[in-house]
Amino acid sequence: MASKRERGLHELYADDPERADALVFGRRTGDSRRGFLKNAGLAGMGAAVGGSIPFAAMMPAGLVPAAMAQPAQQPQAGPAADKGPKVLKMDGKAELAVLGDKPLVAETPAHLLDDDVTPTDKFFVRNNGLTPDPASMPSDPKAWKIKIDGEVNSPMEITLGDLMARFPNVTHTLMLECGGNGRSFFVPEARGNQWTNGGAGCAEWTGVRLADVLKAAGLKSSAVYTGHYGADPHLSGDATKPSISRGVRLEKAMDEHTLIAFRMNGKDIPLIHGAPVRLVVPGWAGSTSAKWLNRIWVRDKEHDGPGMGGFSYRMTRKPIVPGSKGDEKDTVILESMPVRSVVTFPAHGTRLAAGTRKIDLRGHAWAGDNAVQSVEVSIDFGVTWKKAEVKAPVNKFAWQRFTASIDLPSAGYYEIWSKATDTKGVTQPFQAGNWNPQGYGGNPISRVAVLVEA
């Protein structure tokens, strides 16, 4: 019964949100562009979200309450797709939300991003091809080979063991984020996996600097770009096709935080995260951080492997009409990821005990190549904002903790919104903007719904 009513509401909101407001809740859009709820409508919406809405007067018209727009953050078990996100059931992994099983793609619900350093089991998974069969790997991982070729004076094929012994080993806490993180916020839908904010994690990575290895190979003056290859087979099983091969400008490859990594959170990298060795290119689209790394091809031009052309990992140069086809030629490569914040406590869908009038919330914010300058939070649909405390990152390219104590004036339904601003002064928009066919750069303010019991 309840689920039928919910689905009806969703459909109505999808068809015409303002009409849905009017029909279901008697909410009309006023001159201020914020809806106001009539008495009966207020009760109706309150019933739908599970409580009264103290800031109803400020709620924008046609805004689907977050409680209805997003599933509660405990993904449901059971058959795929029909009942909300499927839960990942896998050795060594937490219950992530599965977006697709082939290729395997699973995101971390926001409340599981609460640790200062993302534990390996909670780290998101984004494959482009098939996970390599462990049986196809050398029995001694130190015998794993990586080829460095192209625009270098001394092309080399180096074993992981030699790599570890020959170059300084460094450890950093680094942000990895899928290029499509936030795609689900685009309206209308953009092509690809429909990530919320969970295609991101900040783990501690140990490895050697890619820069040291490239210097040892001797970069030619013609070297401008890298091309990365991993051992994961293409989904079709065709061994002649790479699953994906992306790269970065040489400047990013030479950044001291770009690593050829062999340990994640102090332990060997698990198979699903790229064992025994992978790239970690922090702050840029995760697809540049090739897992199961076996070759770096130094190029004399922008790399042209699969995943570098068309609309893949590209933003439109000029704003285009959302939902239109766009022009591939008028695009630029997505490099640094945009500023983003997530509230990691309380969890979306939390019920707070009656009488709760205050909550200490926390979250993480990050901004690709930049740092986060400030985070603001709101519980009245963005009418007023409060500055959160923001910690400095433990090192460059690590995310930053924010905390805030907020007052909840009464019982009822609240949405906690968070908005980060980076060191360039760029802030998160209210809605995902700059629509592009494959949906990159979707970073609207984050929303978490809580209910203070009456």
Partner 1 sequence: MKPVTAITVSILALVVTLALDRAGVLRQPAVPVAVTPTPAPAPSAAAAPAPSARGGTLAKGAIPRSLPPDAHHQDTIDSLPPGKGRDETFYLCAACHGTALIKQQGLSRELWEASFQLMIDRHGMAKPDDADRALIVDYLSENFPPRRKGRSGDNPFLK
CA angle 183–184–186, rounded 5-degree value? 75
Chain residues 140-169 in contact with partner 1, contact rule CB under 8 A: 140-142
Token pair in block for residue 169:
């080993």
Residue 442 beta carbon to partner 1: minimum distance, rounded to whole angstroms: 12
Interatomic CA distance for residues 220 and 368, integer angstroms: 29
Contact 378, 384 (CB under 8 A): yes
Interatomic CA distance for residues 316 and 333, integer angstroms: 9
> Can residue 383 be called a binding residue for partner 1 (CB under 8 A)?
no
Q: Which stretch binds partner 1 (CB under 8 A): 126-134, 165-173, 282-290, 338-346?
A: 126-134
Residue closer to partner 1 by CB (options 22, 275) is 275
Q: Which stretch binds partner 1 (CB under 8 A): 134-142, 284-292, 359-367, 440-448?
A: 134-142
Site size with partner 1, rule: CB under 8 A? 73
Contact 417, 381 (CB under 8 A): yes
Residue 326 beta carbon to partner 1: minimum distance, rounded to whole angstroms: 9
Give the one residue of 52, 181, 193, 421 binding partner 1; rule: CB under 8 A.
193
Residue 153 beta carbon to partner 1: minimum distance, rounded to whole angstroms: 30
Q: Which stretch binds partner 1 (CB under 8 A): 111-119, 181-189, 217-225, 370-378?
A: 181-189
* Contact string (CB under 8 A) for partner 1, positions 81-100, x = contact: x----x-xxxxx-----xxx
Residue closer to partner 1 by CB (options 148, 275) is 275
Interatomic CA distance for residues 400 and 11, integer angstroms: 37
Residue closer to partner 1 by CB (options 107, 151) is 107
Interatomic CA distance for residues 95 and 374, integer angstroms: 31
Give the one residue of 137, 394, 408, 426 binding partner 1; rule: CB under 8 A.
137
Q: Which stretch binds partner 1 (CB under 8 A): 9-17, 365-373, 386-394, 418-426?
A: 9-17
Residue 161 beta carbon to partner 1: minimum distance, rounded to whole angstroms: 9
Which residue intervals of 16-147 are DSSP H helices? Answer: 17-20, 39-49, 66-69
Residue 453 beta carbon to partner 1: minimum distance, rounded to whole angstroms: 31
Give the one residue of 6, 431, 453, 454 binding partner 1; rule: CB under 8 A.
431
Residue 160 beta carbon to partner 1: minimum distance, rounded to whole angstroms: 8
Residue 435 beta carbon to partner 1: minimum distance, rounded to whole angstroms: 10
* Residue carrying structure tokens 């040291």: 212
Q: Phi and psi (nearest 5°) for 286?
A: -55, -25
Chain residues 224-263 in contact with partner 1, contact rule CB under 8 A: 234-238, 241, 262-263
| CA 349 to chain centroid | 20
Question: Residue 328 in 3-state DSSP?
Answer: helix
Cβ neighbors of 68 (< 8 A, separation 6 or more) are 6, 9, 10, 13, 48, 49
Give the one residue of 46, 307, 349, 368 binding partner 1; rule: CB under 8 A.
307
Interatomic CA distance for residues 289 and 283, integer angstroms: 10
> Which run of H or E residues covers position 252?
helix 250-253
* Contact string (CB under 8 A) for partner 1, positions 308-347, x = contact: -xxxx--------xxxxx----------------------
Interatomic CA distance for residues 76 and 84, integer angstroms: 6
Interatomic CA distance for residues 433 and 147, integer angstroms: 40
Residue closer to partner 1 by CB (options 42, 104) is 104
Kindly provide the b/e burial profile for residues 167-203, where b requires at least 16 CB atoms within 10 angstroms of the residue's own CB: beeeebbbbbbbbbbbbbbbeeebebbbbbbbbbbbb
Chain residues 350-379 in contact with partner 1, contact rule CB under 8 A: none
Chain residues 16-45 in contact with partner 1, contact rule CB under 8 A: 16-18
Cβ neighbors of 239 (< 8 A, separation 6 or more) are 233
Chain residues 46-65 in contact with partner 1, contact rule CB under 8 A: 60-63
Give the one residue of 71, 84, 306, 433 binding partner 1; rule: CB under 8 A.
306
Residue 124 beta carbon to partner 1: minimum distance, rounded to whole angstroms: 14
Residue 217 beta carbon to partner 1: minimum distance, rounded to whole angstroms: 23
